[in-house]
Every structure is written in structure tokens, then in C-alpha cells.
Amino acid sequence: MKNILPLLCALALSAGGCAVLRGTKAPTAAGPTASDQAMQYFVKAKVFEAQHNYLGAIVALRNAADLDSTSPTIYARLAYNYQRIDDPHMAVHFALKGLALDGSQVGLRRLLIRILESEGEREDAIDHIEELLRYEPDNWPLYRHLAYLYFETGQAERVAPLFKEVLAQEHIPPEVKVDIAGIFSRINQQKEAERIYRRVLAADPMVEDAWLGLAELKLAQGHRHEAIAIYREAAGHLPDSSIPYHLARLMDTEHDLEDILAEESAEVLYHLGVALSEAGQYDQATLVFKRIVEMQPQTVEQWTDLARHYIYLEDYDSATAVLSQAAEAMPDSSEIYLYWGTALESTERYDEAIAVYQRGLERLPDAVEIYLYWGLALEQQDAWAEAIEIYSQALAASPGHAALHVRWGISLGRQGQWEDALAQYETAASLDPAYSPTFLHWGIALEELEHWEAALEKLNQAVALANDKSRVLFYLGACYEQASRKLGRDEYFDRAVETFQRLLEIEPNDAYALNYLGYMYADKGVRLTEAVALLEKAIALEPDNSAFLDSIGWAYFRLGELAQAEQYLQQALEQMDEGDPEEQAVIFDHAGDIASALGKMDEARAHWQKVLELAPDNEEVQRKLLP
């Protein structure tokens, strides 16, 4: 340890002199008493502590201790301050002095125990924990801590008597008893551990950890069938817990399930089936779910989970059969019809899905959600006029639903009827001014009509109302960027950048936002190095996305790195989606520009000709093809 005596003396001079260190005493004939002076030094020490000047505090406290050697508080503060300057030897010395004067200072004793353990003095730490338990006899974590120290010091034989002493106390919480049983199991006292587990469960069969501990004890002893029996009994008390997952872990074969299928309730089987399915034990899960169907599930959740299992296995016929039975058993549940319909839609069986929605509405004519799902199924088939008819029927049956007007507006917009769509959004906003999708789609419609200021106003409202802001921020950023180009306003470009940066703070791996912002920079010819970094991240997330490959190729073109640009455009041409003519036209145009810059004019003209096949009115490309 460093010699700090000169420093202590210097600090003491600033704290009122170094008289104690020189061996002199404060005068007692007149003026303040020794006790008063000790208090003054103590107060100075507190000031030093507040300033984090722990050495100054130590000097003041040692002066105080010399003046009043009967104060446990002074010694306690010395211990704390020595501990703060990382001098464990002196911290222990003064902690012991303080405890010798007042053994009830539990905080000081805890400090002493921590220091002793950190210094490897576990035997001494044990002594002080045992002493501390005299003052805190109900502190279970302290008993557990003591037990682990017994283990670490080779005194495992002391653990059992310690815990028997604890168990003899009244009002021991069950979780403490379970913890003790686990430690008994660890020290090979399995009979005592089992006795404790069973006593806990006899008093309260809802203590999950007691069941788990008992079953794991049996497994450790090699008694697998006994463990299964324990889990089954536990599942009867706690079906909606982790118990079925532990039971599923032991279901290795169909034979293991035989008695369970024959004897357990539908509720227990349901949770076991879910656990088996989540564990990937699909054959056993199927057997369980088939048995549940025979027993008739009692809740919507049980029926839909049965269907979900079959959907996961891509056995859609079985899923449909289960949901058909569910609709017979629970005909007044709209959730059944909705889940059934969406399951059919997931396999593009739209006509069958619509038939299910019709069946549901025959039973529940006011179920707005079913109308919505029916309309959405029609939208998936681009049957926009039919979707509008369904939304109209829904509003006639149950007027006042903003979501129906929003879907109606979207369907009108998809038919190019943007002005009519605006009227639907206005109605939706009057019905529910806090419904964010209204303002999102209202903004999109205004954008299509090139009413840029109004569009931005609505999209900003949508952002303010949305719980999940990332999707709405994307549309807002894109609108700012398009408005900046159409209106020639650079401040809107800056707002677009800010919006996409805000989105990426929320969703840093949004590949489409990364691409949009990167392409914005590339197309404007600014911050090109940053553009490449953004686009590389987007491509890492979606390596085969032709739009992303085109964007980074264009960024390299702007940087003048033509070889890299050509390489990425070639990949974009290979990957591009033939179903998106607008994207194809952009990629061919960029490929033509890059080929032209490389002096490959025949290739460039071929690419530009492709653009005109896709977009015959593109005047800019027409000019490029002029002789």
C-alpha cells in the first residue's frame, strides 16, 4: 500500500491542524469539550465525503476518533471511507472496532462481509454472517449465502442443520422451502428434498417450482415414469404454465402419449399440444390435437390453435376441417370465421374465403370485422368495385365505422377516382379524428393529385396519431422528396432527409428506408459516400432486390466509379421484377447511361429502347436516342 501519511498530515492541517498525529491533545481546561471537538471533526468529514474527498474525511474522522473512542458511528464512517480509497485492511480494522462497540450495525457488518469475501477471507465472512443472522433471523437470502460459503469452504455438513433450523421457523414462504429443497438435493439428501417438496404441494398445489423441483429430482434419480406422472398431476393444477412444456420434453414416442390421451382433460391436452408443436414434435402434437377435436374444444383459442398447428404443417385441408367444426360448435364467434377466412386466403383460395365470410354474416349480420375481411379479400383480387359494394353494405348495416370509409376510399383510389376518395377520408375523419390510417391514405390521395402542401399536412397528422410511426414516416419522407422535385424547394429535400433519419432511428434495419435515403442522395449527387454506405446495408438485408442494386449502381455512377456501377446494374437487370414496368424502365435507363459513359453506345441504345417499350412517353429517353 502507498505511504499516505504525509498526505494525511497535509489534509489534516487544512481540517484544523495535525495535533493528533503529533501526539498532542486538544485543551480541556477551557473552550469546547472533547466530545464537542469530535463532533466538529465528524461534521467536517461529512463535508469532505460530499466533495468525494475521502482522504480528507479519513483525517477528520481519525481526529474525531482520538477525541471520542466510544463512538461506533465514527469507526463505521472510517471503514466506509477506507473502503472507498481501496484500502481493505484499514476498512476491516475500523469495521471491527465499530462492531465491537455496537454489534447491531447491520449495514457495517454487511460491508465487512463484502470486504472479507473479496479478500478471500471466507471463514471470517462466515463468522460475521452467522452473527448477522442474530439480528436478521428471517433473512432467507442470507441463509442461502451462508450455505454457499459452507460449500465453498468444504463445510457442506453444516448446510443441513442450518436449513433444518430455518424450516423450524414459523411462516416460512413456500418459495424459500422450495429453494431449501433444491439445496438439499444438491448435497445428496434427496429424501429430505422430496419430503419438503411434497409438504409444500400438500399445503398449496399451485406452487409451480415445487412440482418442477420434484419432477427433476425423480429424473436425476432415473425415475422417468414417476417424473411424467408428477408433471401430469401438476398440469392438472397448472395447465397454463411451463409444466406442459416440461412434460412435452419427455414425450419421445407415441407410446408415451397413450395414457395421457386416454385420461387427461381437453384443457391439459390443449396446452400439451401447443408445447409439442412449439418444440417441433409435430407427429405427437397432431395426435394430441386430433384427440382434442374428438373431445370438442371449449374456447375459440383452442380451436384456432388446432388450426394453426395444421397450417404450420401446410396441411390446409385439415385446418379447414377443424375450423369448419369450430364454426359448427361456436357459430356466434366472429373470430372463428375471420381466422378460417384468412387461412384460406393464405393459400389464395379467395372464393372459399368469401364463402366463409358470407356464412359468418348470415349468422352475425352486424359483424363489421367480417365485412372488412371480405372487402380485403376482394381487394387482394383487384376486385375494387366489388369491394366498394361490400363496404357500402357494411355501412348500411352498421354506420359510423371510420375504417370502412378508409377502405372504401382506398378502393376508389385504386380505380383512379381520387377526388371521390377524398370525400370518404373526410367522412372517416369526422367519425374518428384520432384514426391514423385516415390521414395516411388521405395524404396519399392528395399526393396523387399533386396537392403537395395539403398532402404533407395530412401525413404529418398521421405521424402524430400513429402508434407505429415507421410506416407513416416512410410515406411522409417520400412525399417531402417528391414535393422537393416537383416544386423545386430544397427545404423539402432537407425535410425528407430528416424524416428518413428519424425513421431509421426507430427501425435501423428498414431496408426500404435505407434504400430510399441512399437513392435520394445519389440522384441529387450529394453525400455520395454516405449513400453507398446506406445502400450497402440495404443490400446486406435484401441481396437480390433489383431496386437496391440499381440504387447503389447509380451511386457509384455519380461517384465516377463506372466499373462498379456497371457491375451492380448488370445484377439489377438479372434480378429485376418483370411485373413492375416502372422499376424496369428506371433500371434500363440507368444501365443505358452507364453504358454510354463507358463508350458502349450500341448497348446504351438497346437499353434506352427497352425504356420506350415500357414507357413510350418518356421524353428524356427519346432525346437520348436522337442521332
pLDDT at residue 574 is higher than 80: yes
Mean pLDDT of 11-20: 37
Residue 28 CB neighbour total at 10 angstroms: 10
pLDDT at residue 20 is higher than 70: no
pLDDT at residue 168 is higher than 60: yes
Mean pLDDT of 248-260: 88
Mean pLDDT of 363-376: 93
Q: Is 251 a member of any domain?
A: no
Q: Is 306 a member of any domain?
A: yes
What is the three-class DSSP state of 417? coil
HEC per residue, 457-489: HHHHHHHHHCCCHHHHHHHHHHHHHHHHHHHCC
- Pick the residue with more confidence: 504 or 20? 504
Determine what percent of the chain is predicted with pLDDT higher than 90. Answer: 68
Q: Is 360 a member of any domain?
A: yes
**Which distant-in-sequence residues (6+ apart) come within 8 Å of 547 by Cβ?**
515, 572, 583, 587
Q: Is 345 a member of any domain?
A: yes
Are 41 and 61 within 8 A, CB to CB? yes
Q: Is 314 a member of any domain?
A: yes
Q: Mind listing the pLDDT tens digit for each residue in 286-298?
A: 888 888 878 877 7
> What's the CATH code of the domain at 364?
1.25.40.10
- Pick the residue with more confidence: 9 or 411? 411
| Pick from 283, 268, 190, 276: nearest CA to 236 | 268
Q: Is 365 a member of any domain?
A: yes
Q: Is 378 a member of any domain?
A: yes
Q: Is 327 a member of any domain?
A: yes
Confidence band, pLDDT 50/70/90 cuts, at residue 31: low
CA distance 509 to 500: 12
Are 589 and 608 within 8 A, CB to CB? yes
**Can you give the residue range of the structural domain that contains 370?**
298-399
pLDDT at residue 22 is higher than 70: no
Q: Mind listing the pLDDT tens digit for each residue in 57-105?
A: 999 999 999 999 999 999 999 999 999 999 999 999 999 999 999 999 9
CA distance 394 to 517: 41
Q: Mind listing the pLDDT tens digit for each residue in 312-350?
A: 778 888 888 888 888 988 999 999 999 999 988 988 889
Are 502 and 473 within 8 A, CB to CB? yes
pLDDT at residue 262 is higher than 60: yes
Q: Mind listing the pLDDT tens digit for each residue in 130-144?
A: 899 888 888 888 888
Entry field: residues in the chain: 627
Number of domains in the chain: 1
2 burial (CB, 10 Å; 0-12 / 13-18 / 19+) is exposed
Q: How far is CA 607 from CA 411, 521, 544, in A?
A: 35, 24, 21
Q: Mind listing the pLDDT tens digit for each residue in 427-484?
A: 999 999 999 999 999 999 999 999 999 999 999 999 999 999 999 999 999 999 999 9
